[in-house]
Amino acid sequence: MQTKPVIPTNFDFHSHSAVSDGFLPPHEVARRAAANGVDLWALTDHDTLGGLAEAAATAAEVGMGFVNGVEISIEWRNTPIHVVGLGFDAQHPGLSGGLEALRLGRVERAQRMSDALAAIAIPGVLEGAMRYAGNPDLISRAHFARYMVEIGIARDVPGVFQHYLTPGKPGYVDHRWASLEEAIGWINGAGGVAVVAHPGRYKMSGGDMRRFLDDFKDLGGQGVEVTCGSHSPDHIMHFARLVRHYAFHASRGSDFHGPTESYVDLGKLPQLPEDLKPIWRLVR
C-alpha cells in the first residue's frame, strides 16, 4: 500500500513505532511526521510488517505520501548490520516468512540475554523488559536497556549498551541473524529496494566497508543512508563519496524511536547533497 506526492521535498525513510522498539503507535508516528513537514514517509520497524497498514491509513488521512518499509537484522562476516527494505509488497510470502523466522529467534535470544544478566546478579530483566515491548515477539536490546535504566543499572540507555549489551559485555549473546543474501533476496523478491541503514554506526575499517558495499551491490542492493540521525557532517560527506563511487541511490532517515530517545526528530534532517540520486525515485 503506497501513496506518494509527485516530487517529495522532505522524505524520511527510517522510523520506528511501538510495534518494534519505538515508543509511539504507528498512527502517532505518522501524525508526528506530517506535523513536522514530512511529505513522503516510511515506517521501518525491526523485522516486522505489523504496523504498516495502520501507518498507511493514517498517512492517507493526513495527506502524506507513504512507502512500505522494514529494517532487517543481518550479519555479514560476523558483523551485525541493518538493511532497510522499501517499497515492497507487504503480502509477499518470501519476505513475511523470512521475517517471521527472525522474530522467533529474537525471543530465544532474549531469554539467553536475561540468563546471562542473572548470572552477574541482575535478575528478572526479561520480565521487566517485556513491560516496554509493545510486541513480545519483537523483544530487543533496547527494551532490556530501558528496564535496566529504570532499576538504576545505568543512567541512560547508551550507558547500558556500552557496559552490558554490546559484543564482549556480559549481557550480549551471539545470535544467527539473516545473511546479506537472504535479506536482499527477500526485499527484491517482494518488489522492493534494499538500502544500507546508518552505515556510520558500524565498527568497520574503510576496507571492510568497501568489501561490504561490493557484496551489497553484487547481491542487488541499491541504496545507502547518507543523511540519517546518527551521522555527523563528516559521515554525510564520506558516504556521499561512496554512493557516487558505487552509483547507488541515497536515502535519508531520522531513525526516530520517540521524542525522548532519538538522534533527531522526524523530518528534521539536513537535505541530501544535491548531486545524489534520491532513493524515492526507485519506489515510485
Distance CA 242, CA 190 (A): 27
Q: What is the pLDDT of residue 1?
A: 46
Q: What is the pLDDT of residue 104?
A: 83
Residue 178, SS3?
strand
Model confidence pLDDT, tens digit, residues 206-225: 999 999 999 999 999 999 99
Rounded alpha-carbon distances, angstroms, from residue 129 to 21, 93, 211:
11, 30, 36
Mean pLDDT on 183-212 = 97
Do 87 and 192 meet the contact criterion of CB atoms below 8 Å apart?
A: yes
Mean pLDDT on 147-156 = 96
Decide if pLDDT at 34 tops 60: yes
Distance CA 4, CA 259 (A): 25
Decide if pLDDT at 246 tops 90: yes
Mean pLDDT on 232-241 = 97
Do 219 and 180 meet the contact criterion of CB atoms below 8 Å apart?
A: yes
Alpha-helical runs (H) found in 135-258: 141-150, 157-160, 180-189, 206-218, 233-246
Q: What is the pLDDT of residue 5?
A: 56
Q: What is the pLDDT of residue 53?
A: 98
Model confidence band, residue 137 (pLDDT cutoffs 50, 70, 90)? confident
Do 179 and 78 meet the contact criterion of CB atoms below 8 Å apart?
A: no
Cell of 45: 520497524
Number of alpha carbons in the 13 Å side-chain half-sphere of residue 238: 14
Model confidence pLDDT, tens digit, residues 70-111: 999 999 998 999 999 999 999 999 999 999 988 888 888 899
Higher pLDDT among residues 153 and 7, named by residue: 153
Distance CA 231, CA 271 (A): 13
Residues 6+ away with beta carbon under 8 Å from 243? 224, 226, 249, 250, 276
Decide if pLDDT at 4 tops 60: no
Query: What percent of the chain stands above pLDDT 70?
Result: 98
Residue 76, SS3?
strand
Model confidence pLDDT, tens digit, residues 261-275: 888 999 999 999 999
